[in-house]
Structure 1
């Protein structure tokens, strides 16, 4: 039986006071931590979201107004989402090593569970985003407590190209815990974008999915 050890990334249901402390501990632990040299998302983005949440929380507790309470909930959900993405990055880097996981400041699950490497994700689909130059990447979930690594390649030539072609230059990997609504931004209009994904868990890294493609609007 193998240890299924990971940083926990679910914060949305936590009480405000608990979430504030957790976010503070994570930010202070990750800042300047050589084990995590290139956090995704950046700590600056997480800290900005934390400051926004704190401001709305303070105002909502003072005014009790409906608008202020709504803004507090929205900023909390945003921060929870960023912390979840950061937990996915921590798990990818740590690969179950407790000393690395604990240094991140995240709450750590150390239970034991039988398991295997993830299956190949299926159902990949690219669709138009909300604005020009943006696409949305969805695929079928592989279950709970899964990290996904996905990447994309841009093709601007008029010549046809196959997804497995060595001419395609795949971009730096992105990481998420979600199987839906993963946005790829800043793409050139009329280019063809290819995307593929694989699952990661404590037991290993799965194989890449088949690539899917879409013409960017």
Structure 2
């Protein structure tokens, strides 16, 4: 299934200058934003609070250049607070945008790209089946090497023209592939059979018609 675009959550990997720069872009972009208008709902962190934390973090970065333990500790504390507040704000942006790239881009946050629905890929090959006479009269035994991830093997059968789809009838589904036996067929009657793997995502392609006359 497809995934909607949303705000990236990678601020924690940024160094101090990078975080301050990213925070500045977000605060500037969110101020007067036509898509995400203030005031925000009560349960959403106010933009002025984020702006205040950003400014304090910027000042602490300058003070921490002295190497003083107190200044370094304050910078660390404000860094964590700023990241937390920006993530709270990001959650609200995602809620409003609902995957709309234009709204996400207007927020100043970096965002992921929308992914298209994944295409279901069936087993590329059809079963390689060998047919032989069954132990009982009027029986046919099929043997196949199991395909990776195959759950079962389905058989269709017909005594009519195999090029006419309507002539095919379901015969059986087997969960083991070394001794797949069809019984109760008419001895001396030629049958056309086709098989396909049943994969976790659905049926695979049919084999070409295989012809066999049970005795």
> TM-score, normalised on structure 1?
0.49
Q: Which has the higher contact order (CA 8 A, sep 6+)?
A: 1
Q: Which structure has the greater CA radius of gyration?
A: 2
**TM-score normalised over the length of structure 2:** 0.50
